[in-house]
Structure 1
Amino acid sequence: MPRVSRKKSSSGIYHIMLRGINRQTIFEEKEDRLKFLEVLSKYKNKGNFHLYGYCLMDNHIHLLVKESEEESISTSIKRISSSYVYWYNLKYERCGHLFQERFKSEIIDSQAVFLKVLRYIHQNPLKAGLTKDVLRSQWTSIREYIQKEEMVDTAMALNLFSLDRRTAMKRFIEHSRQRNDDRCLDLNNKKRLSDAEIMEQIRKIGLENTSGLQQMEKGDRDIFLSKLKELDGVSLRQLSRITGISKSVIHRVRQ
């Protein structure tokens, strides 16, 4: 079946979501997130698009961007994802796709929708139970709004609240903390499983303890690891810690 063409935004602004293939974790540790932000900044400058917001979750990314006249947003996202995946594959000794082949997007056609989506992006970690305060999220663009602007264009959102900086900031914070049921390109992500919950799943699959996993033949071990990787809310780093098997080995196991 042929692909349906993306809807064109009259404002040029889009909410973009990149997600790991088969819900795979795309950020294992701090270095990975820092690298993605470095890549994002590099191609923002090259493509000359505007970036209004971002959020880096374990297995997906949200971006709020305005397409430039010089380069389509599809081209910019392709450059960003290809560059990060190349680095990621080298680091974790893997090959192949990391992101779902086609990113998801929605058009932003009004100021109200713009502010709703920006809040949704910033509240992702909050709704996933990763933080208790949206302002304290480490891997979203909220910090550039309330601390120091680096690569995010904060003026557009703040000016929608007020042209007076102090008033705008006060209203922006109130808006960002406002409880809501907004659903924008929603993945219905669950909170990451605890080690105890993963151990319970291991027992359900048929293994009393992880020491037995290391004694298995490679084929049997890989089948078992494949089942663990299919669990929602589990990262490779966590599986490596629990099982004692290196992340690179777990990475290479096919689901």
Structure 2
Amino acid sequence: MPNPRRVWFPNAWYHITARGNRKTDIFYDEHDRFKYLQLLREAKHTYPFHLHAYCLMSNHVHLLIETIDTPPGSFMKEIHSQYARAFNKKYGYVGHLFQGPYKAHLQGDVNAILQVSRYIHLNPCRALLTLEPEAYKWSSYPHYLSPTPFYSDLITTKTVLSYFKDVKQYESFVQLANKSTSGHPNNG
């Protein structure tokens, strides 16, 4: 059955997810994660978009993307094709890496965008990989808290932070949900 046509328009916001085939890992080490981030960065230069949040888990990814002039299918297909080829070559695998096409959930308003941002940043806590989201290296959350973030040309924090008085208020917004879900196993 063909995939349903995705709704797209300039400046649309999407929560994009992609999972490993049969829920298997798509990242084995930090080099794999660096490769995925490198492909995201390259795609941003070819097909400009804003990446507002990300989290790279072992078997799936979460991205909060705002399009500019290009639908997400143009760059997501390229990112995932290139990553799958590199991953398969590196590990001597063949076949599909991802469990079907990526999922893209259109975000309808500011509240939805802020909730998805928090959800993405708390994913490692829900998966019990860390108690504090800022401790997880493969998430954009540390970028929101740091004046000189790693991969600063990749992530855009200004828009999400503009809905808060300051960085501390955003941190409280995220941490409040973290405290209410601590200790509940969930693989995100």
Give the TM-score taking structure 1 as reference length: 0.66
- Corresponding residue SS for 1:26: coil
Residues in 1 aligned to 2:114 and 2:20: alpha-carbon distance in whole angstroms: 26
Q: Percent identity?
A: 35
What is the RMSD of the two structures over their aligned residues, measured on CA atoms? 1.9
Contact 1:11 1:108 in 2 (8 A): no
Contact 1:9 1:108 in 2 (8 A): no
Counterparts of 1:62-141 in structure 2, within 5 Å, are 62-69=62-69, 71-141=70-140
Residues in 1 aligned to 2:2 and 2:59: alpha-carbon distance in whole angstroms: 27
- Segments of structure 2 that go 5 or more residues without pairing to the other structure are none
Contact 2:140 2:155 in 1 (8 A): yes
Contact 1:9 1:109 in 2 (8 A): no
Give the TM-score taking structure 2 as reference length: 0.89
Shift of 1:9: 6.1
Structure 1 residues 147-156 or 60-69, which shifts more?
147-156
- Segments of structure 1 that go 5 or more residues without pairing to the other structure are 163-167, 183-187, 191-255
Structure with more relative contact order (C-alpha pairs < 8 Å, separation 6 or more): 2
Contact 2:16 2:105 in 1 (8 A): yes
1:58 matches 2:58: yes
AA partner of residue 172 (structure 1): Y
AA partner of residue 41 (structure 2): S
Aligned residues: 179
* Residue deviations 1:94-147 (CA, integer Å, cap 9, x gap): 111101221112111111111100000000000110001112111100111111
Larger Rg: 1
- Could you list the structure 1 runs, at least 4 aligned residues long, displaced by more than 6 angstroms after superposition: none
* Residue deviations 1:139-196 (CA, integer Å, cap 9, x gap): 100111111241101100111113xxxxx111010011122689xxxxx528xxxxxx
- Corresponding residue SS for 2:162: helix
Residues in 1 aligned to 2:163 and 2:32: alpha-carbon distance in whole angstroms: 33
- Structure number with higher strand proportion: 2
Shift of 1:7: 3.5
Aligned to 1:236: none
Identify if the C-alpha distance between structure 1 residues 29 and 175 changes in structure 2 by more than 3 Å, giving closer, same or farther: same
- Structure number with higher helix proportion: 1
